[in-house]
Amino acid sequence: MKKFTALIAASLMLCNAYAQYAEKLTNIGDPGVGMNYTKHYLAISNGKIYWENTLDVFSDRVQLWASDGTSNGTYQIIDLPNNGDSRGIDDLIEAGGTVFFTLNDSVNGRELWKTDGTATGTVMVKDIAPGITSATPKLLTNFNGTLYFFAYQDGTGRDLWRSDGTAQGTQLVKSFPTVAGDSSWYETITIANNKLFFKAETANGNELWVSDGTTAGTFEVKDINPGPNSSRPYHIREFNGSVIFTAHNGVNRNTLWKSDGTEAGTVMIKDFGPNSSPYDYINTYQSTTLGNNFYFVGGTATSTELWKSDGTLAGTQKVKAFDYHFDGSVQSMQSFGGKLIFTGYSNATGFELWQSDGTELGTTMLKELFPGPSNGYPYGFTELKGELYFVAFVASGNFQLFKTDGTNNGTVMVSDSTQAPYLGIFRTLTRFQNTLFFYAFETASGTQVWKIKDNVISVAENQLESGVSVGPNPSYDVFRIQSATPMTEVQVTDLQGKRISVPIRENTLDLTGHPTGIYLLQGLVDGQYFRKKLIKL
């Protein structure tokens, strides 16, 4: 009787607790295959999430999908011609309440398109390079509600454009005529201090440029490597209202710079010396800002080093050296909870989850996700409600979803391939409507869009819900399940969302041999999710 009373009391205390589960939005494509060649991104606009589905790598058709985050609100917007272009729908992004993307429709080449979530509202914005020639818009960027991007025009090089979503409002900002030299000079558009920073190639070579969005306000910031030679500003990143990047100063290529968008305010922070003396590279691509410091990577022939800089020579310091790996031993940096979370490598553990407070002693492995020299390789860090979610490789041979509160004990797998309805999670996590969306694969339906939800557990969930009832409940071992219609995707989990292997036969669930406590029965009835709380005595 005491155990029964204690469990009921615990159940009542759990009214504000939650468990997590994975829910598939819908089934798209053929069984066992699902979607093909999905991109890393999901675009968000006006309360909807958007993605593309290319039927196969050289398909002549491509689909655009949208969802309000529910199964009933998930639908195909339109099926579009694709001209066998393996890129399909590319660069989905929201700006000013409109979702923009690029598409090659076989008539106009790859041009700028938009959608409002309807078939009739999915149209080409403007044929920038007339006819079958492709403008190939790249680096689509939302700047103060207006879309900025680079595109080709006949007779010019890659130019800076802006668009408000109308043909008339899609205008050239600055033309960069074709010059001999590096044909891949564009790399990124970075927003800092209400300006656009990028690199462009002109008669002065490949140098740093800035724009306020107007033609008059678009100019070269500084000719870092004077004359026609190029400094090639690389991996331009925002840092406390300025940008930090690496460049070739005419003597050494391993130099760290910062800029506020003016010539006088564009200065070298540190010269790391000639190539291979000792640094093979300085990398601001793997970087982030934490407090008043910018964290980045330096690589030598024997190690990869974590560095930090406050923008001054004296404040640019090495934090810690890591064992050498040809892919780079420090990756995927993210500031979280006042410290740096990142993927770090050692010969003993491979790529695992690390943390740093900015000191060498305070830079330690947070948790080994895949024990031994194998790689957990965490990536896709996304913060949600005070926890940091990410994807990592596990011993079952798939990437699965994890979360951390910044402690070793608080770093846990949300679900794994033996417990989750999906076999493997992949692609970037996207935060939408207070939850996470991602692509995952399961045998039955192939690759689909899934979401993770937090669910309040209340005592009322012991009552009839979605036509499903459970009794007796509480029970010592056996629970009988009654449902007016067949149930599908039925599973039992603990309160942390970990799936429990239990037999369910003829609507009877047997928890014999499992510890006393509270479990969750969940599944689908008529396509609607249900959840029932089970109290095992």
pLDDT score recorded for residue 395? 75
Say whether 220 sits in a helix, a strand or coil: strand
- Is pLDDT above 70 for 101? yes
* Interval 18-38: pLDDT, tens: 456 677 888 887 766 677 656
Per-residue DSSP letter, 407: S
pTM: 0.79
Q: Comparing 435 with 416, which gets the higher pLDDT?
A: 435
> In degrees to the nearest 10, what's the CA dihedral of 110, 114, 120, 124?
-30
DSSP 8-class letter at 7: H
pLDDT digits (tens, 9 = 90+) for 55-79: 655 567 788 999 999 888 999 999 8
What's the pLDDT score for residue 461? Answer: 35
> Which of 3.30.1340, 3.40.50, 1.25.40, 2.60.40 would CATH assign to domain 468-536?
2.60.40
For the chain, domain boundaries:
468-536
Classify 448 in phi/psi space as left (phi over 0), alpha (psi -120 to 50) or beta: beta
> Does the structure show a pLDDT above 50 at 7?
no
Q: What is the mean pLDDT of residues 438-467?
A: 62
Query: Within 10 A of 3 (CB to CB), how many other CB atoms are there?
Result: 10
- pLDDT digit string, tens, across residues 303-341: 899 999 999 999 999 999 999 998 889 999 999 999 999
Which residues, at least 6 apart from 258, have a Cβ–Cβ distance to it below 8 Å? 239, 242, 243, 244, 245, 266, 267, 269, 311
- Give the C-alpha separation, 261 to 192, whole Å: 9
Which ranges in 173-316 belong to alpha helices (H)?
none
Compute the distance between CA of residue 420 and CA of residue 441 in angstroms, rounded to an integer. 11
Mean pLDDT comparison of 1-10, 159-168, 508-517, highest-scoring range: 159-168
CA dihedral sign, ordered 421, 426, 427, 432: positive
Q: Indicate the range of 119-128, 386-395, 397-406, 446-455 predicted with least confidence.
A: 446-455
Asked which of 213-217, 369-373, 377-381 is least confident by mean pLDDT, the reply is 369-373
pLDDT (0 to 100) of residue 465: 44
pLDDT tens readout for residues 261-292? 999 999 999 998 776 566 778 889 889 999 99
Mean pLDDT of 231-240: 93
Q: Which residues are CB-neighbours of 477 under 8 A, at least 6 positions away? A: 510, 511, 512, 536
Residue 4's Cβ-side half-sphere holds a number of Cα atoms within 13 Å equal to: 5
Q: On the CB side of 72, how many CA atoms lie within 13 Å of its CA?
A: 4
What percentage of the chain reaches a pLDDT higher than 90?
44
Are 501 and 25 in contact by the 8 Å Cβ rule? The answer is no
